[in-house]
Homo-oligomer: A and B are copies of this chain.
């Protein structure tokens, strides 16, 4: 592989809520995604999911609390925990999760996105 520049990867797409794979570590993906607005409530029954904010601000709504992340802050949503990400302005995230993870988890629906691999 070649080195991957996060800014260059983010410059290659504009759509929201559609994660792009930028690297692989064993059977895990490193993905970047741009988000704005509110996603959908869902959970991942088999896996934790890591969110690292690159720019903007992300609120991870959970049933018992919200966590607000600024750039340079990360949070891991544990397996089975219902969550609904929200961003009031356009926000860029790095995700680390098993390659098998679907963005909408158990919820499915029209926000479910194929993961394109940017190379």
Q: Which residues from chain A sit less than 8 Å from chain B, CB to CB?
A: 1-7, 22-26, 28, 30, 47-50, 67-70, 72-76, 78-79, 96-98
Contact = CB atoms under 8 A, between A and B. Distances in A.
Contacts of A48: 24-26
A23 B50 CA distance: 9
Contacts of A2: 67, 75
A48 B97 CA distance: 15
Contacts of A1: 75-76, 78
Contacts of A74: 3-4, 6, 22-23, 30
Contacts of A23: 50, 74, 76
Nearest to A26: B48
